[in-house]
Chain A
Amino acid sequence: MSKAMTGAKMVVQALVDQGVDVVFGYPGGAVLPIYDEIFQQNHIQHVLVRHEQAAVHAAEGYARSTGKPGVALVTSGPGATNAVTGLTDALMDSIPIIVLTGQVPTFMIGSDAFQEADTVGITRPCTKHNWLVKETDDLARVLHEAFHVATSGRPGPVLIDIPKDVQFATGKYTEKKARKSYYQPQVKGDITSITELAAAMEKAKRPIFYTGGGVINSGPAASQLLRELVAATNFPVTSTLMGLGAYPASGDNWLGMLGMHGLYEANMAMHGCDLMINIGARFDDRITGTLDKFSPNSKKAHIDIDVSSINKVVHVDIPIVGDVAHVLEDLLKVWKSRGRKTNVEGLSKWWDQINEWRKVDCLKFKQEGKIIKPQYALQRLEALTKGHDRYITTEVGQHQMWAAQYLGFEDPNRWMTSGGLGTMGYGFPASVGVQMAHRDALVINVAGEASWLMNMQEMGTTMQYGLPVKQFILNNERLGMVRQWQQLLHGERYSSSWSESLPDFVKLAEAFGAKGIRCDDPANLDDAIMEMINYDGPVVFDCLVEKHENCFPMIPSGKPHNEMLLGDASTEGAIQGAGQALV
C-alpha cells in the first residue's frame, strides 16, 4: 500500500512509523518544509538545541539510555558540518542515530549554491552509511532502510541528505515493511567455536571475562545472560569504559574497569589470565597498552558482531562472530549440557591471587584539609544519589575517569560517555538527550570546567524544555588531563593547560534562569549535593576541587599492564622512548 504525500510529510510519517517520539534539531532554509510539517502534528516533539553538535550528542544520549535510535535534524551547509563531530563520536562508540540534513535543491547541487556542502562526501567516513535522496519516491524507503542499518549488526550513525525540492515534491510513501533490506548481519555464532570456548572454560585455571560496549549494544538480555554466566561459572569479570553497568558494580565477581586508568586488580588479572573471554569489546589501545606484552600467556576468545573487530589488533584463538545475547545464550546451553564444569581448584587459587591484588586498594585517597579532592566529591555524589533512578553522562578528561572509577553502575544504559573519540562537550548535550527520554529521572553530567564550556549554550535548551539536568562540574581550573600528561611527559611545562578567565558559574546559571551552587569546602559538600538533587530544575554545580590531583592508577603509554603507576608511586621518567609518541 502506498499513499501520495510530500517528501517533507514523508519524513514525519516515517519517523512516526518508526516509533520516534523526540527529534533534536536546529532549523534553516534547507529544512523548512520539514519544520513546517513538524509544526502541524503532535506525535513527535522537536527539541530546539543551541548548536547542531549538541543535537547529535543529545540524540546519542537518548539512544544510549533507551536502546532506541536517536534522531537529529539539521539544515544544509553549516548545519551539516556542525554535525560531523557528533557523527564521528557515534561511529567510534557504535551508537545508533539517524541524522537528517537538508540540502540545496537537486538542480543546484554542484553549483556552490548558498549553504551547499557535499554532505554525503564529508560524512562518508564518519557514518555507517549515508544517502543523498534525489527522488521523492525513494525517500520513504531510504528512511526505513536508515533505521534498519543504524540499529542492525554493529550499530552506528547514518545520515540522509534531503534536497529541498525533494521535500516539496509529492511522491509515493512506502510502508516500513514494504521491502526486506539486503543488509542482514549474522547474529548467531558458530556452534563449533562456541563449543570450543565452553571446553576452554572447563579447563581454565585463571579465566577472566573482559566485557565491553557490545554487551550494552546487544540489549538488556545480553546483560542478563552475562550475569547468569558469571554467577554459574564464578569467573571474575572486568569491563571497558563503554561496558560499565552490564555487570553490576556491587556484584561479587566484579573487578572494576580495566585499561589505562582501570583498577589494579582488573589489569593484573588481564595480564596474568590463562583464558581471556572478550565479550563485545574491541581491544582498544587504552586497554592493551603495549601490544607485544599484552596478556602474554593467555588463550583468547572474542565474541563480536563485527568481523573486522576480530584479529584487528590482537590475534585471537577462538573467534566467534555474532550478537552477544545470541552467543551467550548458546554458550550457556552448551556449557550446561556438558555438565557445568569448571576447574574449581584452579579458580580458587585464582581468586586468592585476585584478592591479594584487591588489597592494594588502588583507588584509595586521603581527603584531608579544606580542599575538596575530586575523588571525594564523586564518592559523596555516589553515596547520595545511589538510591535514585540515576543516569550519568560525562565530559572528557580526568573527571570522566574518576567518574568511571568511583561511581558504581548496577544496570546497563545508565552511563553515557564519549569513549572512542573522547569528545569534550559531549556530556552536557547528552544529558539533555537522556533527560528527554527519562523525564523523572535524576540525570547528572559529571564535567570538567573546560569541557563543559564547549557546549554550555545548551543551558538555553534545558530552560526552554524544563529539563532538570544537573551539571556537576569538578572545577580544577585546569585542562586537567592535559596538565597531567604534561607533568609526566613534558617536564612540567604546562603549555596552555590553564583554564584562564573562567566565568562565575553560579552567575552564569542564574543568567539563564537556572540554579547555581558553589562548593569549596568538604564540610559543606553533602549539603550542597543534597540541595542540587532536591532542586526541581537545572542546576550548575561548581565544585572547586584540588587543582593538581592526578588520575591514578595509570598505565603509562608504551608500558604493559603489570607496570601501572599507582597514586603514591614516583612518576618521574614514567613515559620514555617509543611511549612518548603514543597518545
Chain B
Amino acid sequence: MSPLKIKKGSTSHSAYNLHSGYGDVTERHTLAILVENEPGVLARVIGLFAGRGYNIESLTVAETDHEGHRSRITIVTSGTPQVITQIKAQLGRIVPVHEVHDLTVDGPSVERELALFKVAGKGDARIEAVRLADIFRANVVDSTLESFIFEVTGTSEKIDAFAELMRPLGLVEVVRTGIAALSRGN
C-alpha cells in the first residue's frame, strides 16, 4: 500500500476546533481504490462515506483484473486537507482494500468521463446541435427523424460545457459514467 502521507504542522496549530476545522479550504481529490473483488466491498466503501459524512461527487467501479480478483473504484470527493487525509486512512483500513492512491497529489493524471446526450428537435436547432457535436468530437450513436443520441468523452468540464450548449437545443436526457482516472507515466 502506498504510504499515506501524514502532514506535519506547527505546534501552534496543534489543536483545532472540530466545527471550523483547521485549513478550511475545500479541495477536490480523485482517489483510485484497488479492492479485492468480493461481495459487499462496494457497500463497505460507500457506507464509509455515508456513515462518516464524506462527499462523493463521482463514483465508478468495475473489475479490472479478473485473475487477480481486483476491482478499481474511482471516487471524486471533496473536503479540507484534514478530511481528505482521514478519508484515505479510513479507506485504507477496510480489510479488502489493497491500495489507495490519491491521483490529485500523486503527480499528473488523466481524467475522462463518457456521457450520452439525447437531444430532440427539428429545423435549425437540430442542425446547430450536430454542428456543435462535431466541434466537441461527439459521435452520433443513434438518430431518429426527431432526435439524436451523442456520445462525448472528455474531462468533466468538457462534458459540462457540452451539456450547457445542448440545453437550449432540446436536451432531453443525459447519462454520465462518472470519472475514470489514471496517473501519467509509470
Contacts and interface: CB of A to CB of B under 8 A. Distances in A.
Contacts of A288: 15
Contacts of B15: 288, 291-296, 314-315
Contacts of A154: 93
Nearest to A296: B15
Interface in B1-55: 4, 6-9, 11, 13-18, 22, 36, 39-40, 43-44, 47, 51
B96 to A, nearest CB: 8
A312 B86 contact: yes
A294 B16 CA distance: 9
Contact of A308 (B18, B47, B93): B93
B95 A297 contact: no
B92 interface: yes
B85 interface: yes
A172 interface: no
A307 B89 contact: yes
B86 A315 contact: no
B140 to A, nearest CB: 41
Interface string A4-26: 00000000000000000000000
A311 B6 contact: yes
A107 interface: no
Contact of A182 (B89, B90, B93, B98): B98
B14 A310 contact: no
A124 B93 contact: no
B183 interface: no
B16 A291 contact: yes
Contacts of A296: 14-15
Given A125-B47, A125-B51, A317-B9, A306 B93 contact: yes
B82 A298 contact: no
Nearest to A183: B95
Given A120-B40, A124-B47, A295-B14, A315 B93 contact: no
Interface residues of A, number: 38
B95 A316 contact: no
A513 interface: no
A506 B162 CA distance: 79
Contacts of A153: 93
A308 B9 contact: no
Contacts of A120: 40
Contacts of B4: 307
Interface residues of B, number: 30
A29 interface: no
A128 interface: yes
Contacts of A300: 11, 14
Contacts of B43: 121, 124
A317 B8 contact: yes
A496 B11 CA distance: 45
Nearest to B4: A307
Contacts of A316: 14
Given A300-B14, A308-B90, A315-B22, A182 B9 contact: no
Given A121-B43, A124-B47, A308 B92 contact: yes
Most buried by B among A290, A291, A295, A299: A291
A341 interface: no
Interface string A305-328: 011101111111111000000000
Interface string A121-156: 100110011101000000000000000010001100
A18 to B, nearest CB: 18
Nearest to B43: A124
Contact of A298 (B9, B11, B16, B44): B11
Interface string A338-372: 00000000000000000000000000000000000
Contacts of A125: 47, 51
Most buried by A among B39, B89, B90: B89
Contacts of A124: 40, 43-44, 47
Nearest to B10: A317
Contacts of A121: 43
Interface in A378-429: none
Contacts of A310: 6, 89
Most buried by B among A183, A288, A292, A298: A292
Nearest to B50: A125
Interface of B: 4, 6-9, 11, 13-18, 22, 36, 39-40, 43-44, 47, 51, 82, 85-86, 89-90, 92-93, 95-96, 98
Given A120-B40, A182-B98, A307-B93, 5 more contacts: A124-B44, A295-B14, A308-B86, A310-B89, A314-B14
Interface of A: 120-121, 124-125, 128-130, 132, 149, 153-154, 182-183, 288, 290-300, 306-308, 310-319
